[in-house]
């Protein structure tokens, strides 16, 4: 009995020391644990892939249970819509939906000049507060850590680790996530940080910058395009926090990508040759219509009016 207890204490001590050692080594950076992580990933990812595919309908069922009321209205409307659609479309709906999502993602990539690897989400983090997702493509497809991950709409996150056939992505809403951004149009610089919920915090570096609700943000791009390639749409300002006297301006941003319904993403494996600037934002920037009224006033010669159009 006493021997048992001593043995238990001994093993407890040994395990604690091993854990602390592991934490310290891993926090110091480096790739001490990439070996075991890759091995486990190789074992777990296929299982996750299968489990995710098999149980997706079950998961959806429970998700739906949580919003039965609002769904009832939707169901009535959708039933009507569906009847109409079924007559028109013979195509498999699920497949075409997925194809749409994929093609939207690829369109974004193509118009930005990014070379991407599409991937499907096969897992999400164990705990609700840390936001990482697992995808079904890895280093065999050319994915490496610190690559940008996008989806239809814009930025999803960045790759934090890649195994042979799977990779882990840190999502933009994670509390440790930060990305440099530009306000579309004014080019003012800022930093976006996740805060563990559906919205993001924006901190503008210059307190004098004018920022309004509805302003849109694109990723500024990192040095050498790692971890962020330039020009990826990030989100739209939904409220501005008044901070008189502060050195920076704070605003709340809603990401363009709907992270709750994310299914297909694309990993940018090579950055664009030129910065796409604001061209990837969801709706085209309103083209400024210049109306010039030229009134012939022969007297006024003091200031020559610049002619906006070269004919």
Partner 1 sequence: MNNARYTKDAALIGIAFAVIVFQSSVVSRVAWPLNGPNFIFLLFIPWVLSETPFRAALIGFLMGAVIDLAPPGNGPAGQWALVMTLIGFGLATYAERSRDLVQSPLVEVGIFALGALALLLAWGILGLMVGDDRASAKYFFQFIPTSLLWNVVLAPFVLPVVRKTTFVRRVRR
Binding letters toward partner 1, positions 246-285, x by CB under 8 A? --------------x-------------------------
Nearer of residues 68 and 294 to partner 1, judged by Cβ: 68
What would the DSSP string read from start to end of the chain? -HHHHHHHHHHHHHHHHHHHHHHHHHHT-SSTTHHHHHHHHHHHHHHHHHHHHHHHHHHHHHHHHTTHHHHHHHHHHHHHHHHHHHHH--S-HHHHHHHHHHHHHHHHHHHHT-EEEEEEEEEE-SSTTS-EEEES--GGGT--SS-EEEETTEEEEEEEEE-SS-EEEEETTSTT-EEEEEETTT--EEEEEE-SSSSEEEEES-TT----TT-EEEE---GGG-S--TT-EEEEEEEEE--TT-SSEEEEEEESS-GGG--EEEEEEE--SS--TTTTSSSPPPPP---------SS--SSPPPPS---
Q: Does 27 bind partner 1 (CB under 8 A)?
A: yes
- Per CB under 8 A, the list member of 101, 105, 112, 134 interacting with partner 1 is 134
From candidates 113, 115, 141, 160, binder to partner 1 by CB under 8 A:
160
Question: At its nearest, how many Å lie between partner 1 and the CB of residue 190?
Answer: 19
Span from 72-80, 95-103, 125-133, 200-208 in contact with partner 1 (CB under 8 A) = 125-133
Q: CB atoms < 10 A from the CB of 192, how many? A: 23
37 lines the binding site for partner 1 (CB under 8 A): yes
- Residue 163 as a binder of partner 1 (CB under 8 A): the answer is yes
* Closer residue to partner 1, CB minimum distance, 58 or 296: 58
Q: Which of 69, 88, 129, 304 binds partner 1 (CB under 8 A)?
A: 129
The verdict on 168 binding partner 1 (CB under 8 A) reads: yes
CB of 110 to partner 1, least distance (A): 28
Q: Which stretch binds partner 1 (CB under 8 A): 8-16, 230-238, 273-281, 302-310?
A: 8-16
Q: Footprint of partner 1 on this chain (CB under 8 A)?
A: 4-5, 7-8, 11-12, 15-16, 18-23, 25-27, 32-33, 36-37, 40-41, 44-45, 47-48, 51-52, 55, 58-59, 62-63, 66, 122-130, 132-134, 160-161, 163, 166, 168-170, 174-176, 195-197, 260
């Amino acid at each position: 009995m006493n021997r048992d207890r001593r043995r238990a204490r001994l093993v407890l001590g040994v395990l604690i020391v091993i854990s602390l050692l592991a934490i310290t080594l891993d926090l110091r950076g480096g790739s001490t644990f990439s070996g075991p992580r890759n091995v486990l990933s190789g074992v777990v990812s296929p299982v996750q892939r299968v489990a995710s595919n098999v149980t997706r309908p079950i998961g959806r069922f429970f998700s739906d249970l949580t919003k039965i009321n609002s769904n009832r209205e939707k169901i009535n409307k959708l039933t009507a819509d569906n009847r109409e659609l079924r007559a028109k479309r013979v195509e498999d709906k699920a497949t075409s939906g997925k194809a749409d999502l994929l093609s939207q993602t690829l369109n974004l990539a193509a118009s930005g000049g990014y070379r991407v690897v599409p991937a499907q989400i096969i897992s999400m983090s164990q705990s609700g507060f840390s936001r990482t997702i697992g995808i079904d493509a890895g280093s065999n497809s050319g994915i490496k850590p610190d690559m940008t991950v996008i989806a239809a709409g814009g930025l999803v996150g960045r790759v934090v680790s890649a195994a042979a056939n799977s990779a882990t992505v840190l999502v933009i809403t994670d509390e440790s996530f930060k990305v440099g951004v530009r306000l579309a149009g004014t080019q003012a610089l800022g930093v976006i940080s996740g805060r563990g919920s559906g919205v993001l915090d924006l901190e503008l570096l210059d307190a004098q910058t004018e920022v309004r609700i509805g302003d849109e943000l694109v990723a500024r791009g990192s040095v050498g395009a790692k971890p962020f390639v330039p020009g990826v749409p990030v989100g739209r300002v939904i409220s501005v926090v008044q901070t008189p006297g502060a050195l920076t301006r704070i605003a709340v941003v809603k990401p363009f990508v709907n992270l709750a319904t994310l299914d297909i993403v694309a990993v940018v494996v090579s950055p664009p040759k030129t910065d796409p600037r604001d061209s990837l934002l969801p709706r085209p920037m309103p083209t400024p219509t210049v109306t010039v009224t030229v009134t012939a006033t022969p007297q006024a010669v003091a200031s020559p009016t610049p002619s906006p159009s070269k004919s």
